[in-house]
Chain A
């Protein structure tokens, strides 16, 4: 490939030299991040500010060319991006920021893939239930040719078994990216709760939460942005596809842990069972909201094998990883806690997922 003939170490050393430059007047670079027309892709661009913003409200509504992201026609291309959540920038550091944005069209109607607007409205409505979420984001690392990072060229590693939470050069691939991402998230202010290597080699998971209401969507999307950006620095591709390798290889999900104030109180188990019953009546509606293609992506993953429930069936059970909803053993013992919805796909929109859970369980739709 046409390259610069300076190796990666050299590049990083050169860049470091420039990143340490201090302008005379305080200047802050704010990188706006938004979701594009695919409902899973992320885009970004940067604007200079003359002072340090303290919250997203201080930032101006900007715009971009929607005809270049599948969201508008050339003749009427302007789309607006409205900052909604502010984070520290772990790449540029200092006072520089990242902000997650909502996308609107020229009439200031929400863009088609702006699922945050209605999610936020619902979360406001149910504020008194104090809904908490924790999402276990799984993903796969791929090399530039699309084959999983670290796998033998045109071949496969040994069968699954030794890789889950593994250690050792023959057990895990790409730990540097995971560690770098973890630190970047903490620096940025994302509520990252933990990480582990997953069942398929080159597959990893990180957990974001517990977050209240709308925060889970904001934090998870920004965490995904940080992951793509960190992996860029390492020359590795991140895939959120739910079934990157067909065959006897695990898929990737975004198990969503959820509780309300009542579920967390003594004897909350009753509320948890009530929630499971409500969820059982709307299985198809939830599946349609759990990936960006109304369930088509999840079809390849929710087969009933590889620790999933079949996409056509709904079930729930204590400690059951083959069910749609799992109630952790500890929760059953304590008689209160939370439930784990194992259905959402790794490439789901967390705004859509958390919104429909609230609508079904709390608003009783």
Chain B
């Protein structure tokens, strides 16, 4: 049973100023990282204090402005107990959190921040599920082609007890058909969570480009992008954190499982839209086809990077039905939602644009996904 406490009471405290009489202003930083499961998110908070009379802080700056102008290197490196998140052993449990991206905090609001972090061990090596480092390496090498990404993140809302939100207890709603992009009671459920998430992301500075209700009731999608290079992974991970956190306020659970309901119910994916400078230019369709050819030669390698269990999660979703391609086959086609890669109709007509890789699972690591796409299509890596 979800435990929700009094929001009015909570609100009174959230309104409190973070200043004392000697002009010391505090900001709360929420450090966020990916845990040992490769899909779970963790967070903890710390205070940073600034005295606006400090000569290092310009007189006209308030703390929010000062924090907004802080470089990442000025944010403290922190640590945490990795043995409690499946990331290290008890005897040598300390792991380090290095800030890599900062966003405004839509829960505690300005001047407070959300800080996305990389995880390192005591030898300064990146830890197992920290896939950002190798992704950054690939993106640096591919800088000149200006790789852009847009990910369509699907997810399902669950009620307490784990059954999809709004579904009858011990039962099922009517078959799929009326729910996709729906409006009206009985057609969509949980819109409040989606709306709150959208606003929270915009406030935080996440590049959220749109949202819609999905084919299965209680399933939703939002899109993040276009982001260049490493930004895609950063923005998508923080948007997922924001979603879990918003849903907490409503007593709703979010799952990124790719096939939450067996049977004639759609799964959830993270279709990855991708383009390079060449693909976006006139005649770019040639570059798109070249990329597809390269992708076709490494299908199973990509599948292994497209969910946190080397393809085992996606097996339940990529069946060839419910607008997916089969996990064993590679195919591509214009406007074809049953293919591995779809070229949007508009791109087919204009002869340039982008491609949509429909294979990644909703619980994929966007760093792994964007990294392998770049390594295969730009850096020419092969099996």
Contacts and interface: CB of A to CB of B under 8 A. Distances in A.
B208 A232 contact: no
Nearest to B173: A1
Contacts of B106: 18, 21
Contacts, number: 172
A234 B165 CA distance: 17
A4 B167 CA distance: 11
Interface string B165-196: 11111000000011011111111100110011
B314 to A, nearest CB: 19
A254 interface: no
Given A43-B180, A46-B211, A78-B344, A2 B323 contact: no
Contact of A13 (B8, B169, B252): B8
B195 A19 contact: yes
Contact of A44 (B159, B168, B183): B183
Q: Which of B161, B187, B212, B336 has the most CB of A within 10 A?
A: B212
A24 B104 CA distance: 9
A12 B334 CA distance: 42
Interface stretch (B198-206, B304-312, B360-368): B198-206
B44 interface: no
Contacts of A27: 202
A48 B208 contact: yes
Nearest to B68: A24
Classify the interface of chain A: helix, strand, loop or mixed.
Answer: mixed
Contacts of B192: 11-12, 14-15
A14 B180 contact: no
A4 B183 contact: no
A23 B203 contact: yes
B346 interface: yes
Interface in B130-156: none
Interface stretch (A65-73, A122-130, A313-321): A65-73
Given A18-B246, A70-B177, A65 B337 contact: yes
A23 B104 CA distance: 9
Interface in B1-53: 1-2, 4, 7-8, 11
Nearest to B166: A1
Interface string A202-234: 000000000000000000000001001101101
A64 B181 contact: yes
A68 B187 CA distance: 14
A77 interface: yes
Contacts of B11: 17
B163 interface: yes
B229 to A, nearest CB: 21
A74 B109 CA distance: 43
A237 B183 CA distance: 10
Interface string B204-221: 010011111101000000
Contacts of A43: 180-183
B249 interface: yes
Contacts of B323: 65, 67-68, 74, 77
B296 interface: no
Nearest to A143: B185
Q: Which of A3, A15, A74, A80 has the most CB of B within 10 A?
A: A3
Interface in B323-347: 323, 333-338, 344-346
A45 interface: yes
Nearest to B176: A68
B250 A11 contact: yes
A225 B205 CA distance: 30
A92 B2 CA distance: 28
A78 B169 CA distance: 35
Contact of B7 (A14, A67, A238): A14
Nearest to B7: A13
Given A47-B210, A235-B185, A63 B346 contact: yes
B109 to A, nearest CB: 8
Contacts of B167: 1-2
A6 B4 contact: yes
B185 A144 contact: yes
B233 interface: no
Nearest to A227: B184
A106 interface: yes
A68 B185 CA distance: 19
Contacts of A237: 184-186
Contact of B205 (A23, A42, A77): A23
A29 B222 CA distance: 13
Given A19-B195, A27-B202, A63-B344, A2 B183 contact: no
B333 A75 contact: yes
A109 interface: no
Contacts of A42: 183
Contacts of A235: 185
A10 interface: yes
A107 B188 CA distance: 31
Contacts of B80: none
Contact of A1 (B169, B246, B252, B337): B169
Contacts of A76: 334-336
A5 interface: yes
B78 interface: no
A226 to B, nearest CB: 9
A228 B335 contact: no
Interface string A165-195: 0000000000000000000000000000000
Contacts of A15: 192, 195-196
29 contacts: A2-B161, A3-B165, A5-B2, A5-B251, A6-B2, A6-B251, A10-B7, A13-B8, A14-B196, A17-B249, A18-B200, A21-B199, A46-B210, A47-B209, A48-B202, A65-B337, A76-B334, A76-B335, A76-B336, A77-B323, A78-B346, A80-B346, A106-B345, A144-B185, A144-B186, A232-B185, A232-B188, A234-B185, A237-B186
The list of the 5 closest CB pairs from A to B, nearest first, reads A2-B159, A45-B212, A18-B196, A43-B181, A2-B163
Given A1-B166, A3-B159, A5-B160, 20 more contacts: A2-B161, A2-B165, A3-B160, A4-B252, A6-B250, A13-B8, A14-B7, A14-B250, A23-B203, A29-B198, A48-B210, A69-B180, A75-B335, A75-B337, A77-B337, A106-B335, A229-B184, A231-B184, A232-B185, A232-B188
Interface of B: 1-2, 4, 7-8, 11, 104, 106, 109, 158-161, 163-169, 177-178, 180-188, 191-192, 195-200, 202-203, 205, 208-213, 215, 246, 249-252, 323, 333-338, 344-346
